[in-house]
Amino acid sequence: MRKADREIKDFNELEEILAKSQVCYLSLIDADYPYTLPLNYGYRDKKLYFHCATEGKKLDLLRINPNCSFAVSIDHELITDGIASHCTMKYRSVCGKGIISELQSDEEKAFALQVLMEQYVPDKVWDFKGGCFDRVGILCLDIEKMTGKKR
């Protein structure tokens, strides 16, 4: 990291950012260019969980190559003193990489959906019965490395 004084080294702070953010930008490998999309997610124990359709470009790409990267950020605030060239942004962010896979069992999917819902509605247990698992894809990103930065 070029500006070492902005690096977040405390793992608990990295987890706090992942717990508070609401959108994760996921980048998959698509030939010559990254394929990046904003997704709702849930975070727990160095894993990111996403829901998706059971078919589509995202699944096609990750089945070819499960390597991916991600980014989240929170606490955005413009800081200015009235001179355009003096503007900056206050923020905290986490970027990382890992391997993404599709969850298969109903038990794994129920756990992941609970984690995902807790990201937005904490302290509520959700009931995912009624056959929804065959209509939804659930992805799990195992985080191999992540770094944080703040200003």
pLDDT at 1: 60
Considering only CA atoms, give the Rg of the chain: 17
pLDDT at 83: 77
Which CATH number covers residue 47?
2.30.110.10
pLDDT at 84: 73
| 66, 58 contact by CB (below 8 A) | no
C-beta neighbour count of 139 within 10 angstroms: 22
- 3-class DSSP state of 61: helix
Taking the chain (151 residues) in consecutive chunks of 10 residues, what is each chunk's mean pLDDT?
Answer: 80 96 97 96 97 94 97 92 82 97 92 93 81 86 97 90
pLDDT at 21: 97
Global pTM value: 0.92
Domain that includes residue 125, residue range: 4-150
pLDDT at 94: 98
Query: How far is residue 58's CA from residue 63's CA, in Å, rounded to a whole number?
Result: 9
- Count of the separate structural domains present in the chain: 1
Q: In angstroms, how far apart are the furthest CA atoms of the chain?
A: 58
